[in-house]
Amino acid sequence: MKALIAGTGLGGLTTALRLASRGYRVTMVEKFHQPGGRLNQLKKEGYTFDMGPSFFSMSYEFKEFIDDCGIEMPFEFHELDPLYAVNFLKGNRTFIVHKNLDRLAAEFESVEPDFRNKVERYLSSAGKLFHDTEGKVIRRNFNSIFDFLATLATVPMKHLPKIFRNFMQELDRHFDSDEVKQIFSLTAFFLGATPYDTPAVYTLLSYTELQHDGYYNVKGGMYRIVEGLVRELDRAGVDIHLNTEITGVEAAGDSVSACIDQNGKRWEADFVVINGDAAVFRGNVLRRPRYSPEKLDRMKWTLAPLTIYLGIDTKVPGLHHHNYFLGDNFREYASKIFRNEISLDRPYYYVNTISRLNPESAPPGCESIFILCPVPDLRYKPDWSNAEQLAGSIVSDLSDRIGFDLSSHIVTRKVLTPVDWGKSFNLHRGSGLSLAHDLNQIGAFRPSNVDEKLRNLFYVGSSTVPGTGLPMAVISSKLVTERILKRYGLVPA
C-alpha cells in the first residue's frame, strides 16, 4: 500500500514514520529546499539559527510517538527552568519566570501580595480544565459537529464560564498586578493571538507551562528534531523529494489517482496526506468554493512573524535564553496589533539567545540571536519594504534595554517578513501559526483531517485537528494515522 505525503513539516515527518513503521511504502514531496517546514534552519557565515520554534511543551507526545514507531528518541531534550525572562519597559525591570513555585513567588512578591495562594488557585482551576479536556477534546478525531458537541457536553459544567470569558478576564479574577497578568497572558501569544481575543479555556496553557510538563530545549538546536526524524525515515526507506510542490490533483470518481507537481510530474499513490495548510490546499489547489480566497480571508488567522537572525562577534550581556520585551501600553498594543493600527517602530518582541544553551550554533566566544516580533498578517500590512528599517529599530530598542550596543558587533543579519514565511511554506497571508483557535475553529469546526469529497485524501498539521505548535503536530499525525489505519488496516511488513 503506497502513501504520498506532501510536506515535510513536523506533522508530515511524524505521519510518514508512523505509517512506514506499519509497513506502508511512503514517498514524501516538499516545496521548500530543506525538510522541516516551519521547524527549519538557517546557516550564515558560521552561525546556525533555528528559523522558527525555539522550545516545545508536552514532551510526552514525542515519547508516545517514538513508542508508536518502535524507535529510540532520535534527539535529546532537556527541561527548562527558569522558563523565560520578561522585561518591562517601565523601569526596565526584568522578571524571571521559574517553574518552581517558591522561586516564582519570591520573584513576584513585591508586585503581587499573596501571590503563592493566588497562583495555586489559578493553576488548580486551569489544571482541572486541562485534565478534563485533554483526552476528550484534543487527542480525538470527530466525525461530525454533533459528535464534537456531544463530547463537549461531557466536560464538567464548572468549566463553562471559561468559554464566555477571554484569557485576560480570567487573569483579572485571580491577580491584581499588571506585571503578573501580562506575563501569564503571554501564552495566548504562543497561540498566535492576544489575551483579549483568546478564550479563557486556554489558561490551561499556564498549567502546562508552570506545573504539568513545562518547556524543553533540544540539545544542539531545534533542527536536530528534523535531522533525527529524516535519519529514521531514511532507515525506513522513505524517499524525500525536495523543491517539489503539489499544484494539482487528478481525481477518478471519489478518489485521488495522482498528484501533479509544478513541473507537471504525476505522483501516484493509494492515498495522499497533505501536510501543507489544510484550508489553503483545499482553496488554492482543490479550488473548493468554501475555501475561496475571499472565504480564506474571512477566517481567523494567527499573527504573522517578522523574524531577525543576528550573528554577534562577542558574548552579549543582559540576555537570558528566552526573553520577552514588553512596552508600557500592553492593552492598546494587544487590542490593535492584529490590524496594524499602531506604530511598529517600538514593538513587543521575543529574543532567543540560541547559543546560550546550544554553544555550537556560534563560533567560540560569539552569540547567535533570534528575534521574533508578532505582526499583522498580509491582509493588514501587505507592504514590507520597510522591513530592514523596522528590524534596525528593534535591534536598537533591544540594545537600549540590555545596555549593550549590538549594532557594532553584528557579523551577519537576516530578516524574514510575513511575505517570506508565506511564500516559503504556503502560509495564508504569512500567518505564522495557521488558523486561530477560536471556539468556532477547533474540533469538528476546524478543517477536517479527512477530505469531504475525495476519500483517499487526508490532512495533517496546524490548520487541521487539533491545532498549532509542535506537540499538536505530533498529535495531529496520531489522529490522521488512526483514520488511515481504520480505512486501510495494518499492512504486513
Enumerate binding residues for ligand FAD (CB under 6 A). Answer: 6-12, 29-32, 37-39, 52-56, 245-246, 275-276, 305, 307, 372, 425-426, 432-433, 461-462, 468-470, 473
Q: Which is nearer to ligand FAD, 125 or 449 (CB)?
A: 449
Q: Which three cell numbers stand for residue 453?
A: 469529497
The least distance separating ligand FAD from the CB of residue 120, rounded to whole angstroms, comes to 26
Minimal distance in Å, beta carbon 64 to ligand FAD? Answer: 16
Of 74 and 105, nearer to ligand FAD (C-beta) is 74
- Cβ 202 to ligand FAD shortest distance, Å: 14
Distance between CA atoms of residues 340 and 380, nearest Å: 6
CB 485 → ligand FAD: shortest distance, Å? Answer: 20
Residues 6+ apart with CB under 8 A from 181: 168, 171, 172, 175
Query: What's the CA gap between 60 and 56, in Å, rounded?
Result: 11
Task: For residue 29, report the phi and psi dihedrals to the nearest 5 degrees.
Answer: -125, 150
Which among 455, 423, 468, 451 is positioned nearest to 291, based on CA atoms?
A: 451
Backbone angles phi, psi at 455, to 5 degrees: -75, -15
> Is the distance from CB of 229 to CB of 30 less than 8 angstroms?
no
Q: Which CB sits closer to ligand FAD, 31 or 446? A: 31
Q: CA torsion angle for 103, 201, 379, 392 (degrees, to 10)?
A: 0
Rounded Cα distance between 364 and 493, Å, is 47
Residue 450 is classified by DSSP as: B
Q: Closest separation between CB of residue 38 and ligand FAD, Å?
A: 4
Grid coordinates of 368: 547567535
Nearer to ligand FAD, 81 or 120 (CB): 81
Residue 464 beta carbon to ligand FAD: minimum distance, rounded to whole angstroms: 8
Question: Is the Cβ of residue 201 or residue 278 nearer to ligand FAD in the bound state?
Answer: 278
CB of 340 vs ligand FAD, minimal distance in Å: 18
In terms of CB distance, is 179 or 377 closer to ligand FAD? 377
Sign for the CA dihedral angle at 290, 294, 295, 296 comes to positive
Smaller CB separation from ligand FAD, 32 or 95:
32
Nearest-angstrom CA–CA distance, 358 and 78: 12
